[in-house]
Structure 1
Amino acid sequence: LVLGVVPRLTAFLTGGFVLLTGLIAHRFWDVADPAAVVGQQIHFLKNIAIVGGTMFYFVSGAGAFSLAGRKR
């Protein structure tokens, strides 16, 4: 993502990976301890925010300073 090489595909794959990781690793709905639920929920929502950022990047494109932008 930083270099802008194949930016839309990279953003889509990164978003999918982070979403799957969040669903697998931060299962706050299965945790019994209330304090642990809050911690897992915070990390899960952080991952969802990252997915939102990658989807914005997917829709808007890499920008003029990326390698893909220089080819235009």
Structure 2
Amino acid sequence: MFFCVDNKIRVWDIETILDAENIHDNEKKKPLSVLTSHVGAVLCVRFCHGKGNKIVSGADDMSVLIWEKDE
């Protein structure tokens, strides 16, 4: 397992990663979105229950951010 500790949150399409045909094709394993408002290393990310359109993140910059999906 690979962890990248930086100020970015990457949202992936897990189906493209787990697809057996794409297992060695890194071109098809791109993140759907990269969220970059934290200044410090992101240490915690949680998806909100319900519609699944919000993410909460906490970082070393002592901030907690609530992200909402654009339509």
Q: TM-score range by the shorter chain?
A: under 0.3
Q: Where is the helix percentage greater, Structure 1 or Structure 2? A: 1
Structure number with greater Rg is 1
- Return the TM-score normalized by structure 1: 0.28
Q: Where is the strand percentage greater, Structure 1 or Structure 2? A: 2
> Larger RCO: Structure 1 or Structure 2 (Cα < 8 Å, ≥ 6 residues apart)?
1
